[in-house]
């Protein structure tokens, strides 16, 4: 497999405190990468830089051979919309809306028909065992159910890169293991690249 993401000599500091220095690595298409380490070591900062939400002090990132654009540029906005998907510990769902509505938001920029969109959302929820929650509002769901909806949305959304920041941090150990296994399996089956910040791997 080719190098999908190439990180070259990446450095980041806050004040006099160096978060990381001269970081170089490659991620291949379809790979799952875990970023681990103690609190404050720069895991989320690195994830934010990969997601075009923060900038390094020096170094460069290449996506499919192309250098990352500046984070406030139109090119960065288009990359965040078309290629980069986020999965946050806080779920980032719209609590007052239905599960269906939340998932359809992931497909709003696609050319799929309404029937195709509904079919894909239903199939994804079925995979995670919560197809009966399709028309429930998000605020009716348990924490584990919300995270499975959030994972479903991240996988449904077009784009090859999923960035997950402590996606199971708010769940108990048993549910965290179930959700993490489902995330890795579904991402692999969708042939997407997963970079996850976690204490659990």
For the stretch 126-183, pLDDT in tens is 988 899 999 999 999 998 899 889 999 999 999 999 999 988 877 788 888 888 888 8
For residue 149, the model assigns a pLDDT of 94
d(CA 77, CA 135): 31
Q: What is the average per-residue pLDDT within 86-91? A: 82
For residue 45, the model assigns a pLDDT of 95
Class of domain 3-197: alpha beta
Q: Is the pLDDT of residue 5 over 90?
A: yes
Domain ranges for the chain, please list them: 3-197
For the stretch 10-24, pLDDT in tens is 999 999 899 999 999
For residue 19, the model assigns a pLDDT of 93
Reported as a pLDDT band with limits 50, 70 and 90, residue 112 is very high
For residue 1, the model assigns a pLDDT of 53
For the stretch 28-67, pLDDT in tens is 999 999 999 888 889 999 999 999 999 999 999 999 999 9
For residue 175, the model assigns a pLDDT of 81
* Residue of 68, 74, 75 lying closest to 8 (CA atoms): 68
Q: Please report, to the nearest 10 degrees, the dihedral formed by the alpha carbons of residues 70, 74, 75, 79 taken in order.
A: 100
For residue 9, the model assigns a pLDDT of 98
For 64, half-sphere exposure in the C-beta direction (CA atoms, 13 angstrom radius) is: 9
For residue 171, the model assigns a pLDDT of 78
Task: Give the per-residue SS3 of the chain.
Answer: CCEEEEEEEEEEEECCEEEEEEEEEEEECCCEEEECCCCCCCHHHHHHHHCCCCCCCEEEEEECCEECCCCCCHHHHHHHHHCEEEEECCCCCCCCCEHHHHHHHCCCCCCCCHHHHHHHHHHHHHHCCCHHHCCCEHHHCCHHHHHHHHHHHHHHCCCCEEEEECCCCCCCHHHHHHHHHHHHHHHHHCCCEEEEECCCC
For the stretch 64-83, pLDDT in tens is 999 999 999 999 999 998 99
For residue 43, the model assigns a pLDDT of 93
């Amino acid at each position: 497999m080719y190098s999908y993401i190439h990180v070259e000599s990446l450095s980041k500091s806050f004040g006099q405190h160096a978060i990381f220095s001269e970081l170089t690595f490659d991620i291949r298409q379809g790979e799952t990468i875990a970023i681990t380490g103690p609190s404050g070591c720069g895991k989320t900062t690195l994830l934010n830089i990969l997601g075009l939400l923060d900038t390094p002090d020096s170094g460069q990132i290449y996506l499919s051979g192309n250098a990352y654009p500046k984070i406030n540029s139109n090119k960065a906005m288009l990359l965040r919309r078309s290629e980069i998907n986020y999965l946050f510990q806080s779920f980032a769902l719209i609590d007052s809306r239905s599960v269906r509505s939340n998932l359809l938001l992931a497909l709003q920029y696609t050319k799929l028909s309404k029937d195709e969109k509904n079919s894909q959302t239903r199939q994804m929820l079925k995979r995670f065992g919560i197809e009966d929650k399709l028309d429930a509002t998000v605020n009716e769901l348990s924490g584990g159910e919300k995270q499975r909806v959030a994972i479903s949305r991240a996988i449904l959304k077009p784009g090859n890169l999923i960035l997950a920041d402590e996606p199971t941090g708010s769940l108990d150990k048993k549910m965290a293991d179930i959700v993490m296994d489902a995330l890795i399996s579904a991402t692999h089956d969708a042939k997407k690249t997963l970079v996850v910040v976690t204490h659990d791997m």
